A = this chain, B = another copy of it.
Amino acid sequence: MTTAPKSGHAPTGELTVRTERRTQLLDVTAAVAKLVQDAAVHSGVCYLYVPHTTAGIIVNESADPDVAADIEAALARLVPEDAAAYRHAEGNSDSHIKTALVGTSATIFIAEGKLELGRWQGIFFCEFDGPRTRCLRVKIVPD
């Protein structure tokens, strides 16, 4: 994962995320936390935005990787890849539907210069149509 800070009134960065499977919840907590630390903002809001239509973002448990595996499996059960009724011809309707369910943006507070995640929380980039090289936009706005 690489980061590319961009100019602007509020520090904005982009993380490049390389995914390895068709569906993958990738823990990007450390990379986002580093962007926040580098921004040297004491108190504020960190916005995460996924500019894709077959990938999303969630905050959930990162301590046990089985949790992410269970979320992936549950989404696959709820939204099958090959439902006969899909109209979109690219074979990734399930990827778009999963993205609609989990969402493409998240908001996390910054306190005392750090991302204020809960004790067990981590940030997961949700790949639903990989493997691909993806982008995660991060904006850091001081209070």
Contacts and interface: CB of A to CB of B under 8 A. Distances in A.
Interface of A: 8-10, 12, 43, 45, 47, 49-53, 58-61, 64, 66-67, 69-71, 73-75, 78-79, 83, 85-90, 93, 96-97, 99-109, 111, 116-121, 135, 137, 139, 141-143
Nearest to A93: B70
Chain A binding surface SS class: mixed
A126 to B, nearest CB: 9
Given A67-B53, A71-B100, A74-B79, A111 B45 contact: no
Interface core residue of A53, A85, A97, A103 (most chain B CB under 10 Å): A53
Q: How many copies does the complex hold?
A: 3
A71 B135 CA distance: 23
Contacts of A120: 52-53
